[in-house]
Structure 1
């Protein structure tokens, strides 16, 4: 009997129902905290937030719910909780402890509300490229300050997930997303993971004419990123006396530098490769690689911005290698 609707335990709940249930749980949690705050205004607790700093947050949350943006509300609430958790984990005296929380920064709350709801509306319409663009705006423009790094990284990760669903731009946004995730991984010290992202970035941009805001092609940027990350990987290999593997990796770095079209980058790549040959005991090969690339850099008719300190080190090393060798005689 009864007029309610129930689901058998074995029957999966539909995605829309899951989203709605999640939103209801978050709303209930929020309302309980709100009610507790007003009933116990004089009680100081880690779980109670002063009402004077909460009014704007409450207003925009209510607006989101009234307009039916339950996912945006849940995401905003989760981000506020994440910030509070990061602050508690860092403890008094930390940099984040001195910062204002998201709840105390109306401008950021407004930006989050605006772009999250726009992204949710686009998602409902199946316009994933618009979802991506709104997430990217939050990552790149709204949260570019160092103190907002965690928020920026969060939205770059969201961009990466969304980019996999976009089928109408030839892979441009997916390429962007891999480049950004590569930079985040590299910054966090995950060099192998960064290399994987940069390699996909390179593959997606081969033959393309896409350019960034500065006029550099995506493919030349991919070459630069791969040259840098391969050099970092090879440096670790040399530390571990893995000379053969380091040489193979630096040959790849030199290939990327050459494709990138930057003669100084190509010269540096050749220098590092020469060092690897030198450490492996292959002196003649080391010398020939360095000498050839130095003459290439200085003989080019194109203007080259010369790094004087690098040239000084390289020429000094070449002169040292020349002693006892007839290669340059």
Structure 2
């Protein structure tokens, strides 16, 4: 191609075969000289074959000789969709780079090349060209709909980066749609929030919160619904509460209790605004745990009592069990073990009735620890045994090992207390019991009178 950027007469003649104008062909050379030259050579060959083999058209020859990917690219250029071609070509290059990087990391990575997936190429062609045609007419809602259709098509773990690309395109286009009151813009903010939320990194979560806040603001006072019939404002509240909770988890990990509590208070306010009692209760639960972590026990109890009331009003036993467990932890931290025991015993009943084995194991282990510390080893053994038996039913080795150790320690304490009592009694019966145990090494009979009550 000459330095002035214009095509020679010979080149112009060659491009007539694929219906590219002088300006279009020049643009193609600027976009990608190598591909443009390849198309020129291909068209020269196709023209020769068409003239010399009358039974085949140029399109039929190209269909049998070219890869499907190349045919899609050529069709886009021939039909005048240069922006679509540029975007698709950039995506294909990125696709190849990601494939190569993934293959270098794992020998078991099996994603197929894009050229081996004609359905995806068809969708690219169909929606990109329609979006470009609509954009020329300034039909921005149609542009948005076609780009969003592509985002939905690529919404899977393998192609998520492609979905995210089109989420960003939708976000940019949505700013130009004015006649719908901002609904498309709100939806685009939600998609961008999801994009950043999935990264699950602190600064990415902050970006997600910004987009969800914009989503929430745009939907306030609106009766818009999504495709499932759910109000967008409620979706915004749920998304914002969820993201605030994820952010608070990072803050609590860094022991930044003040900021974690601050953002969870915002989450509680948003949850109340959403008029969803379940979401409000969930927000109260995490706020209570944050107060517990920071040592603000009275505040934690007040917030968790609120969660308990909401769970009771909703007749939600599982949430009520979580509330009892959290309240018991606060009471235990305050040294009020008798009150903590009452809540944990309620949790055991709820867990047993609802077949919540893991809750059962946690509650029994907590009760066993409390009774072990109080020196009531028979009670401790009883609860540790329940925890161990439940873990055996689940066949979870890690839990079985953990609960077995607790149970063994409690039984050892129980035996030591009995032995100590017999030794201190120093009467013939006690001596006979000790001698009998020494000869047989079997389980010594426990005397509950010796245990401190």
User: With structure 1 as the length reference, what TM-score do the two structures score?
Assistant: 0.80
| 1:217 lines up with 2:226 in the alignment | no
1:317 aligned onto 2:317: no
Q: Cα distance, 1:289 vs. partner?
A: 1.5
Pairs within 5 Å for 1:42-61: 54-61=66-73
Larger helix percent: 2
**Aligned pairs, number:** 297
Question: Hey, what's the Cα distance between the residues in 2 that align with 1:171 and 1:57?
Answer: 37
Equivalent residue, structure 2, for 1:29: 34
Please report how far the alpha carbon of residue 284 of structure 1 lies from its aligned counterpart in structure 2 after TM superposition: 1.3
1:154-165 residue pairs with structure 2 within 5 A? 154-165=165-176
Structure 1 stretch displaced more, 202-211 or 240-249: 240-249
> SS of 1:281's equivalent?
coil
Greater Cα shift, 115-124 or 230-239: 230-239
Tell me whether 1:184 sits opposite 2:195 in the alignment: yes
The reply on whether 1:152 has 2:166 as its aligned counterpart is no
Give SS of 1:147's match.
Answer: coil
Aligned counterpart for 1:290 among listed residues 300, 304, 321: 304
Partner of 1:274: 288
* 2:209 aligned residue: 195
Name the CA distance, whole Å, in 1 between partners of 2:74 and 2:295: 70
CA drift at 1:58? 2.6
Larger Rg: 2
The 10-residue stretch of structure 1 (232-241 or 122-131) with the greater mean CA deviation from structure 2: 232-241
Q: 1:226 aligns with which of 240, 243, 257?
A: 240
Q: Distance in 2 between matches of 1:209 and 1:193?
A: 26
Q: Is the 8 A contact 1:212 1:218 kept in 2?
A: yes
CA distance in 2, matches of 1:144, 1:225: 18
What displacement does 1:221 show? 0.7
Query: What is the root-mean-square deviation of aligned Cα atoms in Å?
Result: 3.1
Mind listing any 5+ residue stretches in structure 1 that lack a counterpart? Answer: 7-17, 39-50
CA distance, structure 1, for counterparts of residue 124 and residue 69 of structure 2: 11
Structure 2: segments with no counterpart, 5+ residues: 7-22, 44-62, 341-453
Deviations 1:268-323 (A, max 9, x none): 211111122222222111111211231133135xxx6x362x43232023234346
Is contact 1:54-1:104 (8 Å) kept? no
Structure 2 match to 1:263 = 277
Q: Does 1:133 align with 2:145?
A: yes
Distance 1:124 1:291, change over 3 A: same
Instruction: Indicate which of 172, 177, 182 corresponds to 2:183.
Output: 172
